[in-house]
């Protein structure tokens, strides 16, 4: 997979499966879940994905307070996940200063 991480932008619960079908993945900051608990949010994401025919996996990144959501048939590389996490940490810092809110960093498998 080639490409680079895009600036974080919102991907709604219903749209996650479509993003995953296109070879992308999402990394969510836990504070963006609002009143949702992580297991409940994961169950809803998995249910929407199942309806779209996507088998998803969740990888929690506890030290960063983030969760990766990916299509098991199009997993990102370690380097891509590292870049995504770094980008979110950068934007998390910006959010503290300007009230930015988003929900995902993603990258296309063919972007470049």
The per-residue pLDDT string of the chain (112 residues; one tens digit each, 9 = 90 and over) reads: 445 666 777 788 889 999 999 999 999 888 887 777 899 999 999 999 999 999 999 999 999 999 999 999 999 999 999 999 998 888 887 766 655 454 444 443 333 3
pLDDT score recorded for residue 5: 63
Model pTM? Answer: 0.75
What's the chain's Rg over C-alpha atoms?
13
Residue 61 three-state SS:
strand
Are 29 and 65 within 8 A, CB to CB?
Answer: yes
Contact 32, 111 (CB under 8 A): no
CB 23 within 8 A of CB 17: no
Residue 73 is predicted with a pLDDT of 96
pLDDT in the model for residue 11: 82
Residue 53's pLDDT is 95
Neighbours of 91 (CB within 10 A): 16
107 neighbors 25 (Cβ within 8 angstroms):
yes
- Structure confidence at residue 7 (pLDDT): 72
């Amino acid at each position: 997979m080639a490409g680079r991480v895009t600036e974080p932008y919102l991907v709604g619960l219903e749209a996650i499966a479509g993003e995953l079908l296109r070879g992308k993945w999402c990394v969510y900051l836990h504070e963006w879940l609002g009143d949702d608990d992580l297991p409940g949010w994961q169950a809803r994401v998995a249910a929407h994905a199942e309806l779209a025919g996507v088998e998803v996996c969740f990888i929690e990144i506890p030290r960063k307070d983030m969760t990766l959501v990916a299509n098991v048939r199009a997993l990102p590389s370690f380097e891509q996940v590292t870049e995504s996490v770094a980008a979110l940490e950068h934007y998390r810092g910006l959010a503290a200063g300007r009230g930015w809110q988003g929900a995902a960093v993603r990258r296309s498998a063919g972007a470049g």
